[in-house]
Amino acid sequence: MISSKKIGSGCGQLSRGAARARRALCASFVAAAALLSAPVAWAANADTLSVIVTVKPVDQATSAPTVSVSRSGLSSFFSVKIAVKNGGTNTINKVVVKGQTTVFEGTNPSATLSADYAAFVNLGLLSPNCTQPTGPATNIATCTIGQLASQETRDFFLIFKAPTSGSSVDFLATTGFSSGNSDNTPPADFIRFQHFPVTLTTTNTTQVNHNVKTVLPPNGGDFFTGQDATTNSLNPFSTKVNVPQINALVTDNSIVEDVPAPGPCATVDNPSYFCFGFKSTIEVKNAADDTHVYLPEGASPILNIYLRQDVTALGAKPYPSIASIKIFYVPTTGGAKFEVKSCLGNPDLPKANIPCVAERIDLVKGNKGYYQYVIHAKDNGFYSW
């Protein structure tokens, strides 16, 4: 536990025991990218603890942490990556990191909504002991690191479930450590706090139908647009992505759907093809370093991507056959648009930057239902049809 009786402000107010220590310790914050991360450093003559907190997913337009609310069939999550380092020359003790969330509705804390602690993922060789407190509190995780030798580090993720509504989530990082010159000298205890606001993408119909942002823990899972990935006359298409289990990898995921005007969408191989005007931008990134995720070569694991098109978007009868509709792809890493070929007859697919169509499923009955295209991929990209 961190002792609150020895909290100081600025560079003073040490305990009487600490005042007898041979070193004077000074506490200060070190600034970093606003909202995204902030190293919290206790700068001393020989004792320095730095704590860098990074929250994902991030909205590309604003560079601020943003996560979709959880909804029917879809639990959304945000991750907090914490990097702790003893940058000083002395061993420090009683290192503790605590993360606590509070859901806000406007400017007021919610009395009914919570962003519950969901998972811990270790990134280094040595792991802190992270636990959820006993009792009714489900929004707090306490990570006991204990002793850190000079230059020793701990890197880990805390993952929290997004609430079902609200305007934002505040993540409060509390970090403390102790330093003393001998076993017989009472240590100097320092506690510092830093807040990280996470914007919630609300259940506004347009947002739900066409956007989703979430992280997924290493056991993988689904994320999708639309309510339960459904289609209808108000939501003419939807996208669903299944991420397989990937050991120790927390993924930062998003789908952004565009509805451009239908029209020519020619490629070299399809000079006169006419598109329905649908486009899904899918991203699967490593939440630890923002790198593009490529799954290992071979038959598995793969990303399963489901592109769905409502019957109302097929035009007037007679509807085009599902076999005649072409799916196009552009890698997010860059390159020219090309038609996604069938997985059948192409045993080397999918591979990096080259997905394939595994199935075309006609779920239209009369004037209701949708076409579904099942894509197998090793990474993400832009799909249009």
**pLDDT tens digits for 333-377?**
888 899 999 999 999 999 999 999 999 999 999 999 999 999 999
Average pLDDT, the chain: 84
Integer angstrom CA distances of residue 276 from 259, 262, 273, 315: 9, 5, 10, 9
pLDDT reported for residue 16: 37
Strand order of the β-sheet with 381-384 is 211-216, 251-258, 279-286, 381-384, 328-331, 338-339
Helix (H, G, I), strand (E, B) or coil at 185: coil
Q: How far is CA 203 from CA 31, 54, 210, 258, 275, in A?
A: 34, 25, 11, 18, 29
pLDDT at 188: 57
Over residues 218-233, the pLDDT tens digits come to 999 999 999 889 999 8
Cis omega (within 30 of 0) for bond into 318: yes
pLDDT in tens, 23-40: 322 222 222 333 345 555
The first and second tokens of residue 106, run together, are 């406007």
- Alpha carbons 70 and 168: distance in angstroms, whole number: 13
pLDDT in tens, 287-319: 999 999 999 988 889 999 999 999 999 988 899
Superfamily holding 4-201: ntegrin, alpha v. Chain A, domain 3 (2.60.40.1510)
| Two tokens, residue 59 | 């909205």
Looking at the DSSP bridge assignments, the partners of residue 172 are: 100, 195
**Cα 370–chain centre separation:** 30
Q: Give the CA distances from residue 355 to residues 82, 279, 359, in Å, rounded to whole numbers and listed in that order.
A: 34, 16, 12
The 10s digit of each residue's pLDDT in 91-112 is 888 899 999 999 999 999 999 9
pLDDT digits (tens, 9 = 90+) for 61-101: 888 999 999 998 899 999 999 999 998 888 888 899 999 99
Rounded-to-integer distance, Cα 328 and Cα 266, Å = 10
Q: Tell me what pLDDT residue 128 has.
A: 93
Question: DSSP strand E in 287-366: where?
Answer: 303-310, 328-331, 338-339, 356-365
Tokens standing for residue 89: 């020359």
Q: Give the model's pLDDT for residue 40.
A: 54
Position 61 scores a pLDDT of 82
Number of residues that this document lists for the chain: 385
Rounded Cα–Cα distance for residues 156 and 160 (Å): 13
Q: How confident is the model at residue 44 (pLDDT cuts 50, 70, 90)?
A: very low
Q: Is the confidence at residue 182, as pLDDT, over 80?
A: no
For the chain, what are the domain ranges? Answer: 4-201, 205-384
Q: Concatenated DSSP letters for 117-175? A: EEEEEE-SSS--EEEPPSSS--SEEEEEEEEE-TT-EEEEEEEEE--SS-SEEEEEEEE
Give me the pLDDT at residue 199, please: 95
Is the predicted pLDDT of residue 206 greater than 70, yes or no? yes
Chain centroid to CA 172:
17
Angle at 361 between CA 355 and CA 365, to 5 degrees: 150
Mean pLDDT of 266-270: 79
